[in-house]
């Protein structure tokens, strides 16, 4: 059974904070090779690989398909294997794949690499990481824990992103710069695996409860599973489109250079994201309902995105509005999982619930990048407008579901909020069974 006291891991305050720091940095850099490099250095990498926008987008879609396959089993393995072991396996695997990526292999090999990223960033990492963050804090601390985790993650990514920009800038040949950057990231992955192995707290996060079909069905029957799924899906789909395409929008429509576009992307996606997620999480914990706070963040994100679409594409205004929109969408993503307790999902179901939520919430990732790349190949202006509409539609869905979640108050009705261990009360458990 996991080492829990009052619903959180039995660690000293110092070890809890160190664990939060490590797991948060890990959650950021784990996706840097497969997502960060692809988004931040979009034009540079697409030129180095010699791909079209659609082919480039297919790499993201293949990664999304792999993610979709492994989200659910990641929830089961998170409940049965200790987090520390899974983290070490993840980073060693990612290091090996990124070394291969750095040699710029054939397109087929690139597809295999991006599928492999799904194994080591999702199957052995994703649900284990989310479960660990939830267990680091009590129910009353969920907004702070997830907000701080997201903020630290983006701060770490900002440092790696600017280091990458410096590495690329040091080479006259952009292809050589991208290759050295990938080898640098691979080395970072392997070094982090060793750091986790020797310094990460060894608290037991596995559970003795059986993980089987009956357990899976129990989680499916909890209404909060589906409410949280829609909230996470809405937050991520808006966020993912924003961080992936605001950079090329600044380069192709506003007219900044590729280097400036990458610098702006790092600032938006990581520096602003770090501040927005930390503040967003702390603000959310000041209110009784985090779902209502999410609704406000979604509304602000919608307003910022509409302003990008309907105003002239001037340099200053374009930079300001894309930064504002990114901030709001990072805030929504940062606390989207923090509504699990409010939605009535108990701590004992966290691992399996995370897997189920992720399967459905991130399903559009399996096709969205290829679709958006095709939009841009056909016509950049209309393509970016379609991307902005995508962002707005998902945000509206998130706004509505957040308000519904706040209205239903399932966490209070099921006694998840206010319980010492975050478990369902016996009567509620009987009704599910």
Into how many domains does the chain fold? 1
Mean pLDDT, consecutive 10-residue stretches, the chain (433 aa), reads 60 84 89 84 85 89 90 83 90 97 95 96 88 78 78 84 85 84 95 90 63 78 92 95 89 84 83 86 85 95 94 81 93 87 81 83 87 93 96 98 89 51 39 36
Three-state DSSP state, 204: coil
**Share of the chain residues as helix, strand and coil, in percent rounded to the nearest 5:** 80, 0, 20
26 vs 157: CA distance, rounded Å:
10
Structure confidence at residue 6 (pLDDT): 58
Residues 199, 87 contacting (CB under 8 angstroms): no
CATH number at residue 261: 1.20.1250.20
Structure confidence at residue 417 (pLDDT): 47
1 vs 264: CA distance, rounded Å:
46
The end-to-end CA distance of the chain, in Å, is: 21
Residues 210, 377 contacting (CB under 8 angstroms): no
Structure confidence at residue 421 (pLDDT): 41
Three-state DSSP state, 205: coil
Structure confidence at residue 92 (pLDDT): 97
Q: Do the domain assignments include residue 71?
A: yes
30 vs 11: CA distance, rounded Å:
25
Q: Do the domain assignments include residue 3?
A: no
Q: Do the domain assignments include residue 179?
A: yes
Structure confidence at residue 209 (pLDDT): 61
Q: Do the domain assignments include residue 78?
A: yes
Q: How many helices (H) and strands (E) does the chain have?
A: 20, 2
Residues 23, 16 contacting (CB under 8 angstroms): no
Q: Do the domain assignments include residue 384?
A: yes
Owner of token pair 């458990």: 429
Sign, Cα dihedral of 148, 229, 238, 34? positive
Instruction: Output the six-digit token pair for 2.
Output: 């996991």
For residue 130, give the nearest of 345, 417, 404, 290 by alpha carbon: 345
Structure confidence at residue 201 (pLDDT): 80
Give backbone dihedrals phi and psi of 244, rounded to 5 degrees, phi first: -80, -35
Residues 348, 207 contacting (CB under 8 angstroms): yes
Three-state DSSP state, 313: coil
29 vs 108: CA distance, rounded Å:
25
C-alpha triplet 192, 196, 198: angle, nearest 5°:
120
- Residue 92 structural domain: 12-432
Residues 161, 40 contacting (CB under 8 angstroms): yes
Q: Do the domain assignments include residue 6?
A: no
Q: Do the domain assignments include residue 131?
A: yes
Q: Do the domain assignments include residue 202?
A: yes
Structure confidence at residue 350 (pLDDT): 75
Q: Got the DSSP string for 59-74?
A: HHHHHHHHHHHHHHHH
CB atoms under 10 Å from CB of 6, counted, come to 11
133 vs 126: CA distance, rounded Å:
11
Q: Got the DSSP string for 254-266?
A: I---HHHHHHHHH
Structure confidence at residue 381 (pLDDT): 92
Give backbone dihedrals phi and psi of 321, rounded to 5 degrees, phi first: -70, -40
For residue 305, give the nearest of 185, 389, 415 by alpha carbon: 389
In the DSSP assignment, the letter for residue 219 is H
Give backbone dihedrals phi and psi of 9, rounded to 5 degrees, phi first: -60, 140
236 vs 297: CA distance, rounded Å:
13
C-alpha triplet 197, 40, 67: angle, nearest 5°:
55
In the DSSP assignment, the letter for residue 424 is P
Sign, Cα dihedral of 224, 362, 237, 239? positive
């Amino acid at each position: 059974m996991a080492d829990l006291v009052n619903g959180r891991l039995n660690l000293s305050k110092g070890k809890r904070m160190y664990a939060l720091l490590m797991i948060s940095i890990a959650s950021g850099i784990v996706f840097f090779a497969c997502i960060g490099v692809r988004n931040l250095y979009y034009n540079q990498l697409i030129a180095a690989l010699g791909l079209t926008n659609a082919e480039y987008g297919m790499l993201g879609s293949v990664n999304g398909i792999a993610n979709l396959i492994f989200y659910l089993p990641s929830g089961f393995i998170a409940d049965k294997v200790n987090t520390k072991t899974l983290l070490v396996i993840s980073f060693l695997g990612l290091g090996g794949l990124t070394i291969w990526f750095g040699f710029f292999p054939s397109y087929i090999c690139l597809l295999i690499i991006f599928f492999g990223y799904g194994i080591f960033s999702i199957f052995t990492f994703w649900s284990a990481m989310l479960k660990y963050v939830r267990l680091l804090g009590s129910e009353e601390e969920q907004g702070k824990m997830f907000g701080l985790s997201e903020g630290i993650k983006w701060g770490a990514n900002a440092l790696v992103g600017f280091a990458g920009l410096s590495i690329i800038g040091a080479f006259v040949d952009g292809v050589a710069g991208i290759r050295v950057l990938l080898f640098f990231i691979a080395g970072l992955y392997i070094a982090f695996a060793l750091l986790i192995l020797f310094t990460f707290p060894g608290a037991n996060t596995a559970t003795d409860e059986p993980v089987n079909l009956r357990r899976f069905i129990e989680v499916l029957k909890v209404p909060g599973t589906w409410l949280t799924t829609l909230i996470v899906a809405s937050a991520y789909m808006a966020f993912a489109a924003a961080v992936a395409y605001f950079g090329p929008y600044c380069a192709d429509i506003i007219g900044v250079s590729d280097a400036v576009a990458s610098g702006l992307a790092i600032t938006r996606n990581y520096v602003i994201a770090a501040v927005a997620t930390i503040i967003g999480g702390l603000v959310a914990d000041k209110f009784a309902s985090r779902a209502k706070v999410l609704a406000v963040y979604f509304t602000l994100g919608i307003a910022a995105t509409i302003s990008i679409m309907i105003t002239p594409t001037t340099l200053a205004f374009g930079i300001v509005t894309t930064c504002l929109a990114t901030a709001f969408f990072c805030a929504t993503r940062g606390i989207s999982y923090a509504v699990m307790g409010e939605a009535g999902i108990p701590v004992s179901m966290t691992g399996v619930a995370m897997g189920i939520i992720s399967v459905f919430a991130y399903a559009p990732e399996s096709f969205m990048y290829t679709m958006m790349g095709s939009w841009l190949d056909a016509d950049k202006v209309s393509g970016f407008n379609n991307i902005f509409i995508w962002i707005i539609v998902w945000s509206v869905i998130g706004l509505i579901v957040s308000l519904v979640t706040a209205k239903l108050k399932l966490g209070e009705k099921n006694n998840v909020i206010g319980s010492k261990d975050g478990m369902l009360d016996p009567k509620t458990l009987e009704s599910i069974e």
